[in-house]
């Protein structure tokens, strides 16, 4: 029996704290149960929505009848040394905080730039999360994933379609687990992580509910700079706004609504397009 809840408040599963209700929300505990839900999605012709920490997810108001699959019970991990490297194998629900504790313990290099991202591994792999010039695919070895027909695959990094903030898993497939390659170092990893966290805290509005980066950075200029030049830094619609600290961060000032958020996004995208001829591409994922 797969654990599930009915009429679930979706704002619980978004760091933006906005959203309606899920008719059903599932909490599988192993790959067999995830595969069962994928097959149910196929059989019932319902979209399957993987949900981790929800740091780049926003849900529409109203009742949504999809197959929502939480990774909160998929938190097993192992670490082993192979030659000059450490191999860290984690299920999708393992948080970046857990990985940070591991790399600190063994003083491993490669993950420190990603340390402050509020993510779990499954979602981070699916979107190729990154920060400070590092992406998760820089340290990725392989991914175990389930396609939309329920087939289980073990794919090496080179076999996976990926680019800046994109992977094939955004189109289809449930990321079940991944292997990361990390290397012992003489550097003080704890200090490097501390420095990154202080820098992140000084530049980002982490004291309010936020989605993190709202838009991908176009090749022409950072999205935050374009939004700031377009007058959107600190701009609000009701209780939803672009942060006064960082123009590419949406924040919820208290009682933000989905309708306010969409109005603000559409206005920003239209204005930036008109002013600079650049179409902003959303990094945040909206489930309608």
- Kindly list the catalytic residues: 165, 213, 283
Rounded CA gap, 170 and 161, in Å? 10
Residue 190's nearest CA partner among 120, 130, 100 is: 100
HSE-CB for 3 with a 13 A CA cutoff: 9
CA 257 to chain centre: 21
* 3 state DSSP class of 130: strand
Tell me the CA end-to-end span of the chain in Å, nearest whole number: 28
Integer angstrom CA distances of residue 201 from 82, 97, 150, 212: 35, 15, 41, 12
HSE-CB for 191 with a 13 A CA cutoff: 4
- Record the tokens describing residue 126, joined without a space: 């699916």
- Record the tokens describing residue 5, joined without a space: 């809840």
- DSSP β-ladder status, 63-64 and 85-91: unpaired
């Amino acid at each position: 029996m797969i654990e599930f809840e009915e009429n679930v408040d979706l704002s619980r599963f978004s760091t933006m704290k906005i959203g309606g209700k899920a008719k059903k929300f599932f909490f599988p505990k192993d790959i067999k149960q995830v595969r069962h839900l994928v097959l149910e999605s196929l059989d019932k012709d319902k979209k399957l929505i993987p949900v981790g920490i929800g740091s780049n997810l926003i849900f529409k108001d109203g009742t949504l009848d999809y197959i929502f699959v939480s990774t909160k019970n998929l938190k097993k991990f192992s670490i082993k040394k192979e030659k000059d490297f450490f191999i860290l194998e984690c299920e999708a629900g393992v948080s970046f905080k857990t990985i940070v504790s591991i790399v600190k313990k063994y003083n491993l290099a490669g993950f420190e730039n990603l340390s402050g991202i509020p993510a779990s591994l499954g979602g981070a792999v699916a979107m190729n999360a990154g920060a400070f010039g590092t992406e998760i695919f820089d340290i990725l070895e392989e991914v175990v994933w389930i396609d939309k027909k329920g087939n289980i695959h073990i794919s090496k990094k080179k076999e996976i379609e990926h680019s800046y903030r994109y992977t094939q898993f955004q189109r289809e497939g449930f990321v079940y687990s991944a292997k990361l390659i990390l290397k012992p170092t003489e550097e003080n990893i704890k200090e490097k992580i501390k420095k990154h966290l202080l820098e992140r805290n000084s530049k980002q509005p982490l004291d309010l509910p936020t989605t993190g980066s709202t838009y991908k950075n176009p090749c022409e200029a950072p999205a935050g700079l374009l939004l700031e030049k377009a007058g959107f830094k600190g701009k609000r619609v009701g209780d939803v706004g672009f942060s006064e600290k960082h123009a590419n961060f949406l924040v919820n000032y208290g009682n933000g609504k989905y309708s306010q958020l969409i109005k603000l996004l559409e206005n920003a995208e239209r204005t930036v397009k008109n002013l600079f001829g650049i179409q902003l591409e959303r990094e945040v994922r909206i489930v309608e």
